[in-house]
Amino acid sequence: MLRKEPIPTGPEFTVLENIRVSICANDAEAAQQVSRIIADLIRQNNANNRKTVLGLATGNTPINVYRELIRLHQQEGLDFSRVVTFNLDEYYPMKPDSIQSYRRWMQENLFDHINVKPENIHIPDGSIPEAEVPAYCQRYEQMIEQAGGIDLQILGIGRTGHIGFNEPGSLVDSRTRLIDLDAVTRRDAAADFFGEANVPRRAITMGVGTIMKARRILMLAFGEQKAPIIRRTVEGPITHAVPATFLQSHPKAEIFIGRAAAGDLTRVASPWLLGEIEWTPENQLRAVIWLGLKTGKSILKLDPEDYSANHLSSLVREIGSADRLNHRTYRRLSATIVTKNLMATRRRMLCFSPHPDDDVISMGGTLTRLMQRENEVHVAYMTNGSIAVADDHALQSLDFWADLNHTFKLDTESTAAFYDKVHKFLADKEPGEVDSFEVREIKRLIREAEALAACRSMGIPTQNAHFLDLPFYQTGEVRKRPISEEDVEIVAGLIRKIRPDWVFVAGELSDPHGTHRLCAEAIFAALRRLSPEEKPVQVWLYRGAWQEWEPDVIDVVIPFSRTELMHKIFAIFKHQSQKDKALFPGPYDDREFWQRAEARNTETAAIFNKLGLPEYYAMEAFVRYDEF
């Protein structure tokens, strides 16, 4: 089950935290809290006939804040007519109307939907001549001063600890300027630009000193990938190597994060090191696993001295003895291992795959095993994944199709015209430009054919592969629309049609492109509207492409042999367009998807082995989801 135990908030548990941290259940809750703070400030200043000066950020992190502000304006009359805004940064060079432009992003995601005055909007201009940039940056600083300074600044945080585009090495008194982007930052932005080579190498950014002059600062961070840098920012020393640590010296800085991003904070990862906690069954399990991995001992070999030396004496007192605690934990973990002869049989299964390869990457071994156990297995591919196909791969497929038609004399005139049209578009295509309809369809068909090949490899009948092509994804860009009623109804309709006993959902909400998160949102919304008779008996969450479940939250692991793992890898190989170098591998892992799958499956098995559980070559892990 997902981790739900309360996070300690007492002063003894926050003693290591040098910035106030609000840990929220998810990004939606955090967005509501932050947007409420902004709205209250605007209303208070409006009542006193004063303007409100906001510093704004862009990207996936603050998007839900802006959506909530739009809702407050449209449904509750929040008035932005006195609001003045200053954005943190912009790539350089960057045309204002480019799809990667922060000016365009802000217009589409906030300004076009509220009554802010155009003359009150200020965003760094990435199109000015380079010789004019220093003077422009000075004027930007002057405009902030003339507006009375920033009342409230919204921030995200990069993996390097940058705020705005203030990379490691930025000084606390730095001001708005043109800077060189760190290699990690450019890698993180690669998806938006359809490849790292297309990411600008510089940006105009407010300085750390500019940000620190804001009267109040609210930072947001979500996802497991942000957990390490959040810990350094909050619990580490102030250093220019992590610019976000400068916020520790700001009197009104606060961080709003989800539980995943808080995962490395001491009060979340190991609260027993800070004070006495309630020894719930979940905390008992976490603590014993933590102790076993820390000491390098299997669970059944842990002794009272191990517990007392690691601040866990109260846990032993709670249970009565170390041996009793060890055996209880061992039995609980052993019960999660479901071998082949214990697996369900003759059930109807439905696996939702956000992209056309998530099913085989994350649970290909389990899907193969379910087919071997005479279950009826369906896979629903929620998006077509077309933007992840490189232009060269599309051309290769087009060349094959044209040669095939020419060889067999199949409508060669139409083939030649279509071939020339597509070739011309791709030859003239600008970096990051949205593909034409024809190119998108070629890429869609490539991904569908690969998914069908992988299904055949896993033993799944191709008629059980369902390509939903949800509307939210159909932008031609990395950035997607919010989930709509149409998306939810498509998902609900498929569930009603198949009537599965079990449903599998990608619970990997740290997908850097947000597609997994949006797909899960659509599935959960669909499940909530189904009648009791239409609902599945069980819903399981899987992971694999971006990270794996922590051992203390795993409800079921499916073990398999090296031969079975190799079979899964060969099925992943069917996705040739994603082989060798996927277009959007994500910024946190340079390995190919099959390498990640192999490593994570073997690493999960290795953790169980270290804890003294039966030794297997590889494992796929699942968490049961009960909130439907």
Structure tokens at 541: 């969450």
Domain 345-387+422-625: which CATH number of 3.40.50.1950, 3.60.15.10, 3.90.1150.10, 3.40.50.10320: 3.40.50.10320
Closest CA to 467 of 483, 455, 480: 455
Same fold, 21-267 and 345-387+422-625: yes
Amino acid at 150: I
Spot the catalytic one: 68, 141, 167, 235. Answer: 167
Half-sphere exposure of 307 (CA within 13 A, CB side): 24
Q: What are the residues whose beta carbons fall under 8 Å from the beta carbon of 245, sequence distance 6 or more?
A: 161, 232, 233, 236, 237, 238, 239
pLDDT of 478 reads 58
| Whole-angstrom distance, CA of residue 52 vs CA of residue 165 | 24
| pLDDT (0 to 100) of residue 582 | 64
Write down the pLDDT at residue 482.
84
Q: How far apart are CA 315 and CA 274, in angstroms?
A: 14
- pLDDT, block means (10 residues), the chain with 628 residues: 77 97 92 97 98 95 95 98 98 94 95 98 97 98 98 95 95 97 87 84 98 98 92 98 98 95 96 96 97 98 98 97 98 96 95 97 97 98 93 94 92 91 93 88 97 98 97 76 93 98 86 76 96 95 86 96 98 94 64 92 97 97 92
Rounded CA separation 37/217 (Å): 11
- Identify the pLDDT of residue 585: 61
Which amino acid makes up residue 253?
A
**CB-based contacts of 55, cutoff 8 Å, min separation 6:** 85, 86, 87, 88, 150, 152, 153, 154, 206, 211, 214
**Cα 269 versus chain centre, distance:** 20
Going by DSSP bridges, is the β-strand pair 348-353/253-258 parallel, antiparallel, or unpaired? unpaired
Dihedral sign of CA atoms 588, 591, 593, 595 in order: negative
Residue 458: CB atoms within 10 A of its CB come to 24
Beta bridge partners of 218: 154, 254
pLDDT at 546: 74
Q: Are 536 and 502 in contact (CB under 8 A)?
A: yes
Q: List the domain boundaries for the chain.
A: 21-267, 276-334, 345-387+422-625
Question: Any residues with CB less than 8 A from the CB of 408 and at least 6 apart, and which?
Answer: none
CATH of domain 21-267: 3.40.50.1360
Nearest of 26, 63, 32, 65 to residue 259 by alpha carbon: 26
Is 167 designated active site? yes
